[in-house]
Amino acid sequence: MRILVLKNVYVDFEAPIFMFKDQKEMFVKGMKKIFGDIQIKHVKEQITEMPEREIKTVVDWKNPKNLLLLTTGLTNEQIADILGIGRKHIFAIQLKRASFILPLHKWARKKGISQITEKDIQEYLQEGK
């Protein structure tokens, strides 16, 4: 459906919005409140669902050596360089650090570990943390 709000001006939501009939009616009612007199033009959508995407893992986070890098004082950029993944993937490092470091340190404190090693990370992973 296309929504004409002014002469030859359409509201474009870039991607199809899937709604039940009652949702569509409420949506159109809201658009009329915003834009006044609107016209609905029914068109066949070219895209009916999201296309499949292949998600590739940039870093092998099951490798304790890679995880150990996160516990160092190295910057995300330095870790990216060491891993050879390029700086465009720094976000992957930031996300992993955010979800990995705190639980690892809590686990290490419970075990009385002050300096985390690769062996400690292996044990942590084996415990399913």
Q: What angle do CA 59, 65, 67 make, to 5 degrees?
A: 60
Residue 52 lies in a domain: no
| pTM listed for this prediction | 0.57
Residues 73-99: what's their mean pLDDT? 92
Residue 51 lies in a domain: no
Q: In the structure, what pLDDT confidence band is assigned to residue 36 with cuts at 50, 70 and 90? A: confident
- Same structural domain, 68 and 122: yes
Closest CA to 122 of 104, 101, 102, 99: 104
CA distance 69 to 119: 13
Query: What pLDDT does 56 receive?
Result: 77
Residue 50 lies in a domain: no
- Environment class of 35 (CB within 10 Å of its CB; exposed 0-12, middle 13-18, buried 19+): middle
- Same structural domain, 37 and 68: no
- Same structural domain, 80 and 113: yes
Q: In the structure, what pLDDT confidence band is assigned to residue 37 with cuts at 50, 70 and 90? A: confident
pLDDT in tens, 89-127: 899 999 999 999 999 999 999 999 999 999 999 999 999
Q: Which residue has the tokens 């404190």?
A: 109
Q: Which residue has the tokens 């996160």?
A: 70
- Environment class of 113 (CB within 10 Å of its CB; exposed 0-12, middle 13-18, buried 19+): middle
Domain range enclosing 122:
64-126
Number of structural domains the chain divides into: 2
